[in-house]
Amino acid sequence: MQSLAEFHFLRAGYLLFLIPITILWWRLRPRKSAAQKLPDGIAPHLSAALLLGADDRRRVYPIDLAMLAALLITLAVSGPTWSRATNPLIADTAPLVIALKVTDSMEQTDLTPTRLERAKYKITDMITARSGAQTALIAYAGSAHQVAPLTEDPNILRPLLEGLVPAVMPQQGDVASIALDLALNILESNETPGSVLFVLDDLEPSQAQGFDSQGFDVFFLTMLPDGARIVQLDNLSNATVVPFTPDDQDINRLNRRIQSAYADALDDDDRLDWTDQGWLLAWPAAFLCLLWFRKGWVIRWAVLACILAIPSGPAQAAGWRDWFLTPDQQGQVAMNQKRYGDAADLYQEPYHRGYAMLKAGRYPEAAEVFAQIDTAEAAFAEGLARIRNREYRPAIAAFETALDRRPGWPEAEHNLEVARAILEFVETTREQSDTGEEAGIGADDTVFDNEDSKGAQTTIQAPKDGAEGLSADQWISAIDTDMQDFLRNRFLLDNQALNQ
């Protein structure tokens, strides 16, 4: 029904050709004459044989096939469409901000082991089901905090999600409306329309007004046993509520609803072109045109031409596609089927080839391709590839180049800030570890325990042969940080910044 509502013609002026086609069809189609009548006195069984064309009982004439083909061709040229075309600059899956309620009520054990733990499992399943899509995470209780920005990497979200417990929240309470404002701010920084999902077990009545005033569709996953309802959500006109289920039905239902809302939003996105679906009518029109040939030498020469058109040499399983689709079109088919590696090998257009390599995880190759394109979008994509390949300094340079080419680009500014923060974190951690403070090895010479001249002399010799410096990945992996302490301190700093 949604596709039917969006149906229209890209080149509606060509529909005027339907008028002469209809007139020609009406004028040229044979008609049986009702005026033919023999004189009286002829036997009825002989009269039918004497009438011209009396035995012609055909209902379909060649002119019918010709005019039907002309009708289909006219409709195809008019450009029927009902959906937007994909764009590599815009994600093919809706960005999603997940707001998780982290309160004492979520520690109840009516959902084993607790509501909060089951909520974490559901969020993990949601992230897995949305592989390759951008997801952000918010935690809220008496205050709301951004845990992770929009990211396609589930490895960033999972450890942060595990550290969320009520003890890390600075204040107890329920500020769901503030969490919604924070989620909308995250989505506003992204050019692609997205959705907000709340995972909760209750909603304060005073907070419900904040949802109605936004005029924005919000999704809710209620963490209550036996599909129990939250009365406050029933009164929200813009809420899609999905109750908890022990299996994946709730996650599948949410994904369908979120993707449907995303498709509706893209239909209103003027940055996307409409997909010309006229080619669907070209195939039946071509089949009807084949029926025009008489049985004889014409069809035999057509078969011979098809045989000669077959390329010589070794047969290839997918060689037939080259007869109908260009390499870029074949690459787009592979992208639509999420065969990113095949798409990267098929694409010839540089930006699309680099984007497919980025989606396939071939980050060094993607970065090299984007570096050869002189556009702000290419520099931005190069920065993404560099930062995922742990090349933080080149990533910073790429984002700076993107800002030079398009000043004030919010996404590039945000990613530049993130890349600089990661680089500073890595270098600070390496400097601390170089002193041995984090590793616990101390000095590499001699250590005395003899404050009162009573201690025994102890010598610790650090190994020097074959010692090699650790990479940035190894330094990060060696950090043993309590995630709950990290989140608690971060949320406290957030509150202090708000109160200043």
Global confidence as pTM: 0.50
Nearest CA to 219 among 246, 189, 251, 187?
251
Does the CA dihedral 217-223-228-232 come out positive or negative?
negative
Torsion of CA 225, 226, 231, 232, to 10 degrees: 40
Spatial separation of the C-alpha atoms in residues 255 and 251, rounded to whole Å: 6
pLDDT in tens, 408-427: 888 888 888 888 888 888 88
Residue 390: what pLDDT? 86
The identity of residue 403, as a single letter, is L
Q: Which residue has the higher pLDDT, 237 or 373?
A: 373
pLDDT at position 448 = 45
Task: Tell me which of 90-104, 151-165, 190-204, 427-441 is least confident.
Answer: 427-441
Q: What is the pLDDT of residue 493?
A: 83
Report the pLDDT value the prediction gives residue 455, as an integer from 0 to 100: 46
**Phi and psi at residue 213, to the nearest 5°:** -75, -15
**Cβ atoms within 10 Å, residue 213:** 10
pLDDT at 307 over 60: no
**198 confidence band (pLDDT: 50, 70, 90):** very high
Greatest mean pLDDT among 34-43, 51-60, 92-101, 309-318 lies in 92-101
pLDDT tens for 455-491 read: 444 444 444 444 444 444 444 444 434 678 888 888 8
Closest alpha carbon to 207 in 115, 96, 101: 101
Q: Which two tokens stand for residue 219?
A: 């999704």
Residue type, 293: F
d(CA 159, CA 484): 10
Residue 140 vs residue 337, higher pLDDT: 140
Distance from C-alpha of 351 to C-alpha of 379, rounded to nearest angstrom: 11
> Residue 244: its pLDDT value, please?
92
Amino acid code (one letter) for 51: L
Average pLDDT rounded to a whole number, residues 34-44: 61
Q: How many CB atoms lie within 10 A of CB 470?
A: 13
Alpha-carbon distances of 166 from 30, 78, 120, 141, 416, rounded to whole Å: 83, 60, 13, 8, 32
Which amino acid belongs to residue 463?
P
Closest CA to 200 of 243, 260, 154, 157: 243
Q: Residue 265 has what pLDDT?
A: 57
**Residue 288 pLDDT class (50, 70, 90 cuts):** confident
pLDDT at 319: 56
Q: Give me the mean pLDDT over the 385-410 stretch.
A: 90
197 by DSSP, 3-state: which?
A: strand
Secondary structure class of 113 (helix, strand, coil): coil
Residue-level pLDDT at 194: 78
Per-residue pLDDT at 122 exceeds 60: yes
Residue 444, pLDDT score: 44
The partner residues of 145 in beta bridges, in order of sequence, read 139
Q: Phi/psi zone of residue 361: left (φ > 0), alpha (ψ -120 to 50 degrees), beta? A: left
Residue 33: both structure tokens together: 């004459």
Give the residue-averaged pLDDT of 365-391: 91
What is the C-alpha separation between 60 and 38, in angstroms, rounded?
27
From residue 374, alpha-carbon distances to 198, 377, 379, 385, 494 in Å are 41, 9, 8, 16, 39
Percent of the chain with pLDDT over 90: 21
Predicted confidence at residue 320, as pLDDT, reads: 58
Of 278-282, 398-402, 424-428, the range with the highest mean pLDDT is 398-402
Q: Which residue has the higher pLDDT, 491 or 261?
A: 491
Q: Where does the pLDDT of residue 44 fall: very low under 50, low under 70, confident under 90, or very high at 90 and above?
A: low
- Given this model, what pLDDT does residue 206 score? 85
Q: Give all domains of the chain, ordered by start, each with its CATH number.
A: 1-30+57-83+274-295 (no CATH), 96-267 (3.40.50.410)
Give the confidence band of 179 by pLDDT, cuts at 50, 70, 90: very high
Does position 103 have pLDDT exceeding 90, yes or no? Answer: yes
Give the pLDDT of residue 58: 57
Q: Evaluate whether 208 touches 170 at the Cβ level (below 8 Å).
A: no
Query: Sorting pLDDT into bands at 50, 70 and 90, what band is 51?
Result: low
Helix (H) or strand (E) holding 459: strand 457-459
The larger pLDDT score, comparing residue 67 to residue 320, is at 67
- Of 194, 195, 235, give the one whose Cα is nearest residue 212: 235
450 pLDDT exceeds 50?
Answer: no
The owner of tokens 């999603």 is: 96
- Given phi > 0 = left and psi -120 to 50 = alpha, else beta, which region is 466? left
Q: Where are the alpha helices (DSSP H) in 78-153?
A: 115-129
The span from the CA of 134 to the CA of 132, in Å, is: 7
Average pLDDT, the chain: 76
- C-alpha 394/C-alpha 397 separation (Å) is 5
331 CB neighbour count, 10 Å cutoff? 25
Strands 218-222 and 195-200: parallel
In this structure, the chain runs to a length of 500
Which residues does 140 contact at the CB level (< 8 Å), separation at least 6? 99, 100, 101, 102, 174, 175, 176, 178, 179
